[in-house]
Amino acid sequence: MRGLSLLGIAVGLAALISLSAGRAAAEGTPNKCGCYKDSAGTCFCAKKGKCGCPGDCEPKGCEEQRDKEIQKEIDAETKKAEASQNKRSAGDQDGDNGDNGAKAEREPARPARAARPKLSPAQAKQLAKLIDLYLVDHPDARGKAIEDVRSDMR
């Protein structure tokens, strides 16, 4: 009788060990970064774990490394944009830079400020009449840009 109870305990232990080993294998399967989660959701990573599993278990410092890379990209793009703006503004100050108006054809006209409301058709008609009256009194203003005419009026 005692042999049967020992056999029962041995079978029970074997079953328990096989169940826990199966669960550990499922939980302990590492992702491509070399990390895995346990049943409590805690991440464990190998010493040589790699970054590259955003949103999954990763070694410590991967998120910070990604943030630094993104910040470097943003800084580089900002510098490019500033350099481009500086070149564009330097070209505008030089006046004729030998491109014979090709720059005006390449760059679209700057849109009006979006914060201001649009003119109604009646207002646009009145504005056209006022511009015509101004040009009758100032014929030399016909070849000027509207910004130059505005600065002359001030």
The pLDDT tens digits for 11-68 are 555 554 554 444 444 457 888 888 988 888 888 888 888 888 888 888 888 888 888 9
Residues 6+ apart with CB under 8 A from 46: 30, 34, 35
Domains: count for the chain: 1
Show the tokens assigned to 62.
């991967």
The per-residue pLDDT for range 126-140, each reduced to its tens digit, is: 888 888 888 888 888
On whether residue 35 sits in a domain, the answer given is yes
On whether residue 123 sits in a domain, the answer given is no
Show the tokens assigned to 20.
């826990």
Residue type, 79: K
On whether residue 26 sits in a domain, the answer given is yes
**What integer pLDDT is reported at residue 117 of this predicted model?**
78
CA distance between the termini of the chain: 114
- Parent domain of 46: 2-60
Q: pLDDT category, 110, cuts 50, 70, 90?
A: low
Work out the number of other CB atoms within 10 angstroms of the CB of residue 33.
20
On whether residue 14 sits in a domain, the answer given is yes
On whether residue 55 sits in a domain, the answer given is yes
The secondary structure of residue 114, as a DSSP letter, is: T
**What integer pLDDT is reported at residue 24 of this predicted model?**
41
CA 35 to chain CA mean position, Å: 28
Distance CA 91, CA 84 (A): 11
Question: Under a CB-based contact definition with an 8 Å cutoff, are residues 123 and 117 in contact?
Answer: no
On whether residue 76 sits in a domain, the answer given is no
On whether residue 31 sits in a domain, the answer given is yes
Show the tokens assigned to 86.
């500086």
Instruction: Give the global pTM.
Output: 0.37
Q: pLDDT category, 71, cuts 50, 70, 90?
A: very high
**What integer pLDDT is reported at residue 21 of this predicted model?**
41
For residue 148, pLDDT beyond 50: yes
On whether residue 143 sits in a domain, the answer given is no
What's the half-sphere exposure (Cβ side, CA atoms, 13 Å) at 29? 5
